[in-house]
Amino acid sequence: MATCKFFALFFFFLFSLALSQQGSTVQSDGTVDCSNRWIHIRRLPTRFNLDLLANCSEYPLFGDFCPYLANHGLGQKTHNHSYSWYRTDNLMLELIFHRRMLEYPCLTEDPNFADAVYLPYYAALDALRYLYGPEYNSSAEHGLELFEFLQEDEPGIWKRHLGHDHFLVMARPAWDFSQPLGNEPPLWGTSFLELPEFFNVTTLTLESRAWPWQEQAIPYPTSFHPPNLALSDSWIQRVQKSRRSVMAMFAGGGGVSATPNIRRSIRIECENATGNSTISGGYVKLCEIIDCSNGICEHDPIRFMRPMLQASFCLQPPGETPTRRSTFDGILAGCIPVFFEDQSAKLQYGWHLPENDFESFAVFIPKEEVVFKGKKILDVLRRIPRSRVRRMREKILELIPRVLYRKHNSSHGLRAKKDAFDISIDGALKKIQSRLEEVALAQ
């Protein structure tokens, strides 16, 4: 408990420092072209962000997330001498994003001059009181307080474009915020994304819904947050050189019940293949399962990163929802992803992963074929020519910089490469611009 308070206060202190410097963050290092890229950070009362961090130990049903606040949301280092590896929690993407926003080179104090308005609202953290707390039955109200504030405090900022130029980050799948209004009693989730009040706002989530809506999916944060180019490059070199002695691996849980599903098929096939001694392709092992049940891997990246470095293919089956953080951990390790449905990545991360060229770095095996038609995953993978595997891995290496969130205040060399944050901002600005054009045409 004492540690939690310590982390919360520590974080609070650092964050307040950064916030107080907000006004002077417009840098011009000569290489930044800010035209059509100006962003205004909306000033929000602390109840919409920092107070939620201070309450990090107040959600008994969810658990204490105070330890993950350290290092501006990157979490604690994996070990004392680590420069790049942290125990990062998905939910902290809202903080990570906010911290990076403060060093965005094209910030403007003047909302009338801005091409977009960022709302530093920790929406998924605020959702905890509805999802796991006493306000469960009021989950249709999630967001209304914020909306009210936006209408009352400097209402001109919203009115200028009726919210079409606003964006925010929600560090959970959109599914968690799309409960239809009027469910009585409420089912899982809040109704934030169903509120007409927020239809005009661009929302960056970890997973989007199957139909086009106001949200766009951006990568889950991994545990790798390099502070400079040398550390980033040396990791990529290590990934490139890593000996892949295992053909396929799956890090996860589930699939232990008798009901047919893709995780169960993977488990059966993988466990069975382990004993097979006739292995080709230079592999020592055909398939390996890293048991991550009960969340034991969540804040312990060493458990899965090492095995991912040693595998050629990483199996990425859907779980409770189609997407998983493991997709990005795997890419980071140079492990070729194997997807079982398009909703797992192809129809999600179009800004970060090449949507029209998915076969160049990923394998797709429809889950129905595996679960109901007896298709063997390992047979499919075994038949992929080694030259093709090599080309796919080269493509993955190119994708690594695009899916990692580098550390805040990183070196200029590293800043020159677009990371997951930079690409998200580019995407949000573009999306907002085309929205504003559509609205203008409709008038």
Ligand X SMILES: *[C@@H]1O[C@H](CO)[C@@H](O)[C@H](O)[C@H]1NC(C)=O
CB of 409 to ligand X, least distance (A): 4
User: Beta 202-207 vs 311-316: how paired, if at all?
Assistant: unpaired
Taking the least distance from each CB to ligand X, the nearer of 80 and 259 is: 80
Closest CA to 400 of 248, 225, 251, 244: 225
CA gap 39, 44 in Å, rounded: 15
CB of 352 to ligand X, least distance (A): 26
CB of 188 to ligand X, least distance (A): 13
Q: At what angle do helices 229-241 and 386-403 cross, to 10 degrees?
A: 160
Closest CA to 23 of 93, 108, 111: 108
Q: CB neighbours (10 Å) of residue 227?
A: 16
CA gap 49, 94 in Å, rounded: 9
Cα-based torsion angle of the residue sequence 248, 254, 256, 259 in order, rounded to the nearest 10 degrees: -110
User: Could you give the 3-state DSSP secondary structure of residue 154?
Assistant: coil
Taking the least distance from each CB to ligand X, the nearer of 89 and 165 is: 165
Taking the least distance from each CB to ligand X, the nearer of 31 and 356 is: 31
Residue 247: phi and psi, rounded to 5, are -70, -55
CB of 280 to ligand X, least distance (A): 7
CB of 94 to ligand X, least distance (A): 14
Taking the least distance from each CB to ligand X, the nearer of 264 and 303 is: 264
Taking the least distance from each CB to ligand X, the nearer of 240 and 276 is: 276
Taking the least distance from each CB to ligand X, the nearer of 73 and 330 is: 73
Per-state percent for the chain, helix, strand, coil, to nearest 5: 45, 10, 45
CA–chain centroid gap for 422, Å, is 13
CB of 185 to ligand X, least distance (A): 4
Taking the least distance from each CB to ligand X, the nearer of 268 and 296 is: 268
Full DSSP string of 406-435:
PPTT--HHHHTS--HHHHHHHHHHHHHHHH
| Binding interface with ligand X (CB under 6 A) | 47, 51-52, 55, 58, 80, 134, 136-137, 162-163, 185, 197, 199-200, 268, 272, 276, 278, 409, 439
CB of 198 to ligand X, least distance (A): 7
